[in-house]
Amino acid sequence: MEELRAGVEPSGFSDLSEIKVAICYLLSFCKLPLSKEQIFDILDLNGLVNYFYFSQALEELLKNKQVKKIDGYYSPEESGLEAAQTLKGTLAGNIRELLAKSATSYGKRIDFEKWHCIKTKREKIGYTITCEIADDDLELMKISLFVPEKDMLNMIKKRFEEEPEEIYKRIVNILTDEDFE
């Protein structure tokens, strides 16, 4: 039992059946196939699971045909969806909420990384930050700024991570003197 808890927060999972229910619940919540690393990252965002036991639980779900693996991505089988629906009540409400928030947050981070890029470079004095927005093969915006201090660099980086589309709209509005929606 102590090994199962290694590296896991007190509110995390304490047995394999809980981990299996959490995996099925997460896969049914996300509605998209996830890689093993993505599933673990979401569960691990809040220290809910030990990697060794997570891997064991996922393998058991595969063996029992509750999840399927196609091209390295996992999705629930019908029996896994049924298990998630039937047993989700065995997960504490705060854990279900934590899983939903973690999955949503993780999805936003993946989307951000897919369409947005932030690069920073230390200069002799100060820093250069480059912020990019792309859509498939089209580069919509790429802007590089010099900033004298690391605090300013971090402020720009944080703001771009939070509102990249709003920054894009404002730049277009300023440059065209028109409201761009």
Is residue 17 located within the same domain as residue 105?
yes
Nearest of 91, 71, 114, 109 to residue 26 by alpha carbon: 91
pLDDT tens digits for 17-76?
Answer: 888 888 888 888 877 788 898 888 888 876 778 888 899 999 999 999 999 999 988 988
Number of domains the chain contains: 2
Residues in the chain: 181
Is residue 77 located within the same domain as residue 135?
no
Report d(CA 52, CA 125) in Å as an integer.
Answer: 46
103: domain CATH number? 1.10.10
> Per the domain annotation, does 140 fall within a domain?
yes
Is residue 94 located within the same domain as residue 61?
yes
> Per the domain annotation, does 43 fall within a domain?
yes
Is residue 127 located within the same domain as residue 108?
no
Per the structure, the complete domain to which residue 33 belongs is given by 2-113
Is residue 42 located within the same domain as residue 70?
yes
Residue at a domain's end among 113, 134, 158: 113
> Per the domain annotation, does 118 fall within a domain?
no
State the DSSP H helix or E strand holding residue 53, giving kind and residue range, or none if neither: helix 51-63
Is residue 130 located within the same domain as residue 105?
no
Residue 110: pLDDT band (50, 70, 90) is low
> Per the domain annotation, does 159 fall within a domain?
yes
Report d(CA 50, CA 4) in Å as an integer.
Answer: 7
Q: Is the pLDDT of residue 8 over 80?
A: no
Residue at a domain's end among 66, 88, 113: 113
Residue at a domain's end among 113, 144, 162: 113
> Per the domain annotation, does 93 fall within a domain?
yes
Q: Is the pLDDT of residue 172 over 90?
A: no
Is residue 97 located within the same domain as residue 132?
no
Is residue 46 located within the same domain as residue 26?
yes
Give residue 4's pLDDT: 42
